Structure 1
């Protein structure tokens, strides 16, 4: 199976993994070198950086050596900080959660602003919410803070009410969860991650010591694949999922890749 990594996605992943600790704005020349090691050519790096600048994710700034560079905007930094809690924390995809509280988002958007309705639905889906009914979406309660940050950032709070509570009936909660989320699609996404990145881990476990560049490249690609999963699968309670749920193994594989590769790869990143 071939893995697809877009230049823009890899740049965002790079800033999430290494860019925040770079010691200032990242020079354009360093971005070209570091993304080149991940298979992205220089024109693609420059065009993708330009798009991220137009979106307000990156800001032009002078690097420590006086050359042209880019730093994260305050909004982008907050977005990545929120993402850390999902990607690296105890609430990531495949992490068992105790059943109990849920976060309910109830929204209503006037017809003349229906473009905001589409934006709201798409962002809730990207945060890992499942659809209960039109205008009613649900997620594990631990995504509350990130949901609030996202709705505030997009100026959508006027259309949404958030509630926390328990599922009281009438179908068993496991049956309801299977309606609210496409569990088969989520399981397939976990399995695809395993197909692509578990062989890398096996090679490491067998004693293959990576060079800093190899560690950097393998880590960046694994993180670029993994970081989407804790959003599609927001850490649903384990006892509500099928017994053969592959998210447990996928989370364990990413965790070990992170431990083995991240810091070694940082040696390649250092200017």
Structure 2
């Protein structure tokens, strides 16, 4: 899923319903044209993730399930690995190449990695998310899901990096930590003078930071600790990200409508 699509889904999740004009207004200052926003909303609607009622966009059951699928991947790090592997095997005809590529991309984003061409593997079962993707792309005829153990040819730690590019992802976490630390320092030094920290500018900063971090999280398969290096930086990056977003969110409290785009807020109960 493209970053803009994911952002829009999470914004709708927080606010529950958002109009096209609001999205256009939000992303205009993020460098995305009206047409890009409209095309993205149209694509999300075509995929069945959102629906429109009374001029506002809402999540469908499929959209809610998609977000829950990503959350399931993020929460898997709290689960002890049972030693079993989960395989998705497929042979999709060349004439459906675009669907095959989209399916491979989705498998990667929910934590599966390519063991062989047409065989993806994951140490945790993310079956519900895989089934959602199979249904979305109409691939029932060409996909099989298998759970089990290796009788021969165990996946070694050295192969883990070949399958999931762990070192490359960890390097991105390092760079993100440097970025957030610089922003936290900048925020602290300017804390006494927030004249330029309008709610709107603050919202854009949160969206920008979320986009960068979100892209890394999509690449991260959230593997068991047995397969991760000792210096794995995901949790440090995540803690710093939430620390700075919490700082910025404090500046949004004067505008609950903007705050509700990035965190769940009861607008009916809020006065603004």
- TM-score over 0.5 for the pair: yes
- Gap change, CA 1:153 and 1:252, over 3 Å in 2: same
2:206 alignment partner, one of 206, 219, 234: 219
TM-score normalised according to structure 1 size: 0.72
Aligned residue pairs total 252
Distance, in Å, in 2 between the alignment partners of 1:168 and 1:136 is: 17
DSSP 3-state at the match of 1:256: helix
Instruction: Tell me which of 8, 13, 16 is aligned to 1:20.
Output: 13
CA distance in 2 between counterparts of 1:129 and 1:227 reads 17
Q: How far did 1:257 drift?
A: 3.6
Q: Is the 8 A contact 1:212 1:267 kept in 2?
A: no
CA distance in 1 between counterparts of 2:38 and 2:117 reads 41
- Displacement of 1:125 in angstroms is 2.5
Structure 1 segments unaligned to the other structure (5+ residues): 1-7, 63-67
Cα distance in structure 1, aligned partners of 2:28 and 2:89: 44
Cross-structure match for 1:98: 80
SS of equivalent to 2:75: coil
TM-score by length of 2: 0.72
User: Alpha carbons of 1:254 and 1:147: their partners in 2 closer, same or farther (altered >3 Å)?
Assistant: farther
Please name the residue that 1:3 is paired with. Answer: none
Task: Give yes or no for the alignment of 1:174 onto 2:157.
Answer: yes
Q: 26, 30, 36: which is aligned to 2:22?
A: 30
Moved more, 131-140 or 37-46: 37-46
Q: Is the 8 A contact 1:97 1:236 kept in 2?
A: no
Q: Residues 93-134 of structure 1: CA distance to partner in whole angstroms, max 9, x if unpaired? A: xx5763433221122335665555444333322333211122
Q: Does 1:147 align with 2:130?
A: yes
> How many angstroms apart in 1 are the aligned matches of 2:45 and 2:110?
23
RMSD: 3.5
2:232 aligned with 1:245, yes or no?
Answer: yes
Instruction: State the alpha-carbon separation in 1 of the partners of residues 190 and 123 from structure 2.
Output: 39
Long gaps (5+) in structure 2: 261-266, 268-272
For residues 24 and 117 of structure 2, the distance between their equivalents in structure 1, rounded to whole angstroms, comes to 45
- For 1:134-213, list aligned pairs within 5 A: 134-167=117-150, 170=153, 173-204=156-187, 208=191, 212-213=199-200
